[in-house]
């Protein structure tokens, strides 16, 4: 911050109304209110020092520097924020070498597919790099509607809406639809974006046991009547555990208890179903069995952004009024939408990519089981977690693989429970048999090496 900006900030802080919380207006914008005269003045920290002692900031800074120090002292490469050049494919260029890559959810290899890249370039030439405004006020370009019609057709529902981010889609849609007095019944492994949505909404969130219809039923029996609107939220394919959402059973139970249903297809669209049309196709469900089908463009479709497909009135309302997904936010970049449309074209033209993806997943799963690695509750899907308890141990295995030419991310708390740290492997249709089998050998060796680490590292 420059000196004059500091002065200005000091003056503002000396005035009233700054830093006193405030309320949210109907348009989603925070309003500040003057401090009540009777309330004792709170000690204020000066500009630039507002957050240095914030517990989460301090903890994150300490954690990052401890991790960096461990890698620096051990001489091992730090797998976090690994500087990389080129696209995020099965082989990436990093550390001046080629690495076999398992850290990208580029399930069908579409993000660098020539047709996808060409479509994005053409849209850049035609529409520029940015939408430069929200759709409501800036005029529609046909790309958005074309993608939305394709998605609505795939889900066999009235309409769809594309957004700039999958995370914001969950947060904004739930934030818009639920409020105080309402409830979201969530699978206990539900993604953080759904949790954010419930916080945004100010509704209650009640979890049921992961993928457990009996648990959902008993939670609904016990609690449903205490709330006004209720939404059951589940995923098609769980991103940390590689489990398959029991979507059809859970949705049917939700309906018995007069609940709406939302399914997050972030990791199932493009992955499940014979033609990659997601968990609905996998289970043979009707579009109307679920109220809100949510997905991202940033995973199998090789682009970036989110979408929902639902009843046309619901979509119309959100397109015009939902903050963060349509209102008060810029439209998705035209190049990203063109890329996703081209990604859908490739999916339609080459369903064999989905077959290859599953052949690879089964091959890798069998190879890891043969080597007696702990795959948790995973079900042989293209998300394969290898449980390596202890944050340092998991990091050690990831760094050892990196030294030997394989990149797979280590995941620790809070993303997974303490003691269930893991390496997560995303399999794609483009991995070769040789890459998969040699990685299985290297991984088994690295996990064995990690067993010999001092016990303190298993914490
Ligand atoms: C289950 C799930 N939902 C939503 C999201 C957010 O999607 P995006 O990365 O497109 O913002 C993710 C991201 O990883 C996810 O795993």
- Read off the pLDDT of residues 211-223 as tens digits, 9 standing for 90 and up: 999 999 999 999 9
Q: Distance (Å, rounded) from C-alpha 17 to C-alpha 34?
A: 4
- Read off the pLDDT of residues 152-201 as tens digits, 9 standing for 90 and up: 999 999 999 999 999 999 999 999 999 999 999 999 999 999 999 999 99
Confirm or reject: Cβ of 170 under 6 Å from ligand 1.
yes
Are both 218 and 248 inside the same structural domain? yes
- Edge to edge, the sheet with strand 306-310 lists 159-163, 306-310, 292-296, 260-264, 230-235, 183-187, 204-208
> Cβ neighbours of residue 187 under 8 Å, at least 6 residues apart?
207, 208, 210, 211, 233, 234, 235, 238, 245, 250
Are both 281 and 363 inside the same structural domain? no
First to last CA, the chain: 40
> Cβ neighbours of residue 403 under 8 Å, at least 6 residues apart?
76, 77
Q: Distance (Å, rounded) from C-alpha 229 to C-alpha 236?
A: 23
Are both 297 and 334 inside the same structural domain? yes
Confirm or reject: Cβ of 90 under 6 Å from ligand 1.
no
Whole-number percent of the chain with pLDDT over 70: 90
Report the pLDDT value the prediction gives residue 14, as an integer from 0 to 100: 42
User: Per-residue pLDDT averaged across 339-357, rounded?
Assistant: 98
Q: Distance (Å, rounded) from C-alpha 122 to C-alpha 298?
A: 19
Confirm or reject: Cβ of 239 under 6 Å from ligand 1.
yes
26 falls within a domain: no
Query: Chain-centre distance of CA 296, in angstroms?
Result: 8
Banded pLDDT at 70 (limits 50, 70, 90): confident
Report the pLDDT value the prediction gives residue 457, as an integer from 0 to 100: 60
Q: Which residue range(s) make up the domain with 219?
A: 128-349
Cα(234) to ligand 1 centroid in Å equals: 13
Cα(304) to ligand 1 centroid in Å equals: 10
User: Is residue 143's pLDDT more than 60?
Assistant: yes
> Cβ neighbours of residue 253 under 8 Å, at least 6 residues apart?
213, 216, 217, 220, 232
Cα(270) to ligand 1 centroid in Å equals: 14
Q: What is the CATH number of the domain that holds 174?
A: 3.40.640.10
For residue 297, the ligand 1 atom closest to its alpha carbon is 10
Structural domains in the chain (count): 2
Cβ atoms of residues 143 and 340 within 8 Å: no
For residue 304, the ligand 1 atom closest to its alpha carbon is 10
Confirm or reject: Cβ of 291 under 6 Å from ligand 1.
no
- Read off the pLDDT of residues 314-331 as tens digits, 9 standing for 90 and up: 999 999 999 999 989 999
Q: Distance (Å, rounded) from C-alpha 173 to C-alpha 203?
A: 13
Are both 100 and 168 inside the same structural domain? no
Mean pLDDT, the chain, integer: 91
Are both 419 and 310 inside the same structural domain? no
41 falls within a domain: no
Query: Chain-centre distance of CA 449, in angstroms?
Result: 32
Confirm or reject: Cβ of 364 under 6 Å from ligand 1.
no
Are both 247 and 284 inside the same structural domain? yes
76 falls within a domain: yes
Confirm or reject: Cβ of 235 under 6 Å from ligand 1.
yes
Shortest-distance Cα residue to atom 7 of ligand 1 = 166
Banded pLDDT at 401 (limits 50, 70, 90): very high
User: Per-residue pLDDT averaged across 2-29, rounded?
Assistant: 39
Are both 307 and 380 inside the same structural domain? no
Are both 208 and 320 inside the same structural domain? yes
Report the pLDDT value the prediction gives residue 32, as an integer from 0 to 100: 44
Q: Which one of 329, 349, 369 terminates a domain?
A: 349
44 falls within a domain: no
> Cβ neighbours of residue 373 under 8 Å, at least 6 residues apart?
386, 443, 444, 447
Report the pLDDT value the prediction gives residue 325, as an integer from 0 to 100: 94
Burial class (CB in 10 A: 0-12, 13-18, 19+), 220: buried
Q: What is the CATH number of the domain that holds 85?
A: 3.90.1150.10
Q: What is the DSSP letter of 350?
A: -
Cα(38) to ligand 1 centroid in Å equals: 46
Count of CB atoms within 10 A of residue 78's CB? 17
Strand partners, 99: 92
Banded pLDDT at 383 (limits 50, 70, 90): very high
Q: What is the DSSP letter of 327?
A: B
- Strands (DSSP E) contained in 270-348 are 292-296, 306-310
β-pairing verdict for 406-407 and 91-94: unpaired
406 falls within a domain: yes
For residue 306, the ligand 1 atom closest to its alpha carbon is 10
Q: Which one of 319, 349, 379 terminates a domain?
A: 349
Are both 356 and 344 inside the same structural domain? no
Q: Distance (Å, rounded) from C-alpha 236 to C-alpha 356?
A: 20
User: Per-residue pLDDT averaged across 9-37, rounded?
Assistant: 41
Q: Distance (Å, rounded) from C-alpha 340 to C-alpha 425?
A: 24
User: Is residue 350's pLDDT more than 90?
Assistant: yes
119 falls within a domain: no
Confirm or reject: Cβ of 104 under 6 Å from ligand 1.
no
Peptide bond into 414 cis (omega under 30): yes
Are both 229 and 315 inside the same structural domain? yes
367 falls within a domain: yes
Cβ atoms of residues 368 and 443 within 8 Å: yes
Report the pLDDT value the prediction gives residue 139, as an integer from 0 to 100: 86
Are both 75 and 176 inside the same structural domain? no
User: Is residue 34's pLDDT more than 50?
Assistant: no
Q: Which one of 333, 349, 365 terminates a domain?
A: 349
User: Could you give the dihedral angle defined by the CA atoms of residues 326, 330, 334 and 339, in that order, rounded to the nearest 10 degrees?
Assistant: -70
Are both 217 and 262 inside the same structural domain? yes
SS3 percent helix, strand, coil of the chain, rounded to 5, is 45, 15, 40
Both structure tokens of 94: 């990093």
What SS3 class is residue 116? helix
21 falls within a domain: no
Confirm or reject: Cβ of 193 under 6 Å from ligand 1.
yes
> Cβ neighbours of residue 229 under 8 Å, at least 6 residues apart?
177, 178, 181, 182, 183, 260
- Read off the pLDDT of residues 408-443 as tens digits, 9 standing for 90 and up: 999 999 899 999 999 999 999 999 999 999 999 999
What SS3 class is residue 273? coil
User: Per-residue pLDDT averaged across 268-296, rounded?
Assistant: 98
User: Can you spell out the DSSP letters for 232-244?
Assistant: EEEESB-TTT-PB
What SS3 class is residue 197? helix
């Amino acid at each position: 911050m420059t000196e004059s900006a500091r002065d200005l900030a000091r003056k503002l802080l000396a005035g009233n109304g700054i830093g006193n919380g405030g309320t949210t207006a109907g348009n989603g914008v925070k309003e500040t209110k003057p401090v009540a005269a009777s309330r004792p003045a709170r000690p204020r920290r000066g500009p630039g020092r507002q957050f240095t002692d914030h517990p989460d900031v301090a903890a994150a800074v300490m954690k990052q520097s401890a991790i960096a120090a461990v890698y620096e002292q051990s001489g091992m490469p730090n797998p976090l924020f690994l500087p990389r050049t080129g696209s995020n494919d099965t082989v990436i260029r990093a550390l001046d070498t080629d690495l076999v890559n398992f850290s990208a959810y580029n399930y069908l290899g579409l993000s660098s597919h020539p047709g996808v890249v060409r479509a994005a370039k053409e849209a850049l030439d035609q529409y520029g790099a940015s939408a430069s405004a929200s759709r409501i006020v800036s005029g529609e370009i046909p790309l958005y509607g074309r993608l939305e019609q394709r998605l609505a057709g795939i889900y066999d529902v009235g309409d769809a809406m594309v957004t700039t981010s999958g995370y914001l889609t969950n947060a904004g849609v739930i934030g818009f639809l639920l409020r105080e007095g309402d409830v979201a019944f969530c699978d206990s492994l539900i993604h953080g974006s759904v949790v954010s949505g419930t916080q945004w909404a100010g509704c209650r969130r009640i979890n049921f046991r992961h993928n457990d219809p009996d648990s959902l039923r008993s939670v609904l029996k016990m609690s449903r009547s205490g709330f006004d609107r209720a939404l059951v939220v589940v995923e098609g394919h769980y991103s940390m555990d590689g489990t398959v959402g029991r979507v059809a059973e859970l949705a049917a139970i939700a309906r018995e208890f007069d609940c709406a249903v939302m399914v997050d297809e972030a990791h199932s669209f493009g992955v499940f179903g014979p033609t990659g049309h997601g968990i609905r196709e996998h289970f043979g469900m009707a579009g109307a069995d679920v109220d809100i089908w949510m997905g991202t463009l940033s995973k199998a479709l090789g682009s970036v952004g989110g979408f929902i497909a639902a009843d046309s009135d619901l979509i119309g309302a959100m397109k015009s009024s939902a903050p963060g997904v349509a209102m008060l936010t810029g439209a998705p970049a035209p190049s990203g939408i063109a890329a996703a449309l081209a990604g859908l074209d490739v999916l339609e033209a080459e369903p064999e990519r989905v077959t290859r993806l599953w052949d690879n997943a089964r091959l890798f799963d069998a190879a890891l089981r043969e080597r007696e690695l702990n795959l948790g509750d995973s079900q042989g899907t293209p998300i394969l977690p290898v449980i390596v308890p202890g944050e340092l141990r998991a990091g050690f295995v990831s760094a050892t693989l990196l030294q030997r030419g394989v990149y797979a991310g280590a995941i620790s708390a809070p993303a997974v429970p303490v003691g269930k740290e893991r390496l997560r492997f995303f399999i794609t249709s483009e991995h070769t048999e040789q890459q998969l089998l040699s990685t299985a050998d290297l991984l088994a060796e690295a996990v064995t090496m990690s067993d010999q680490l001092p016990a303190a590292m298993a914490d």
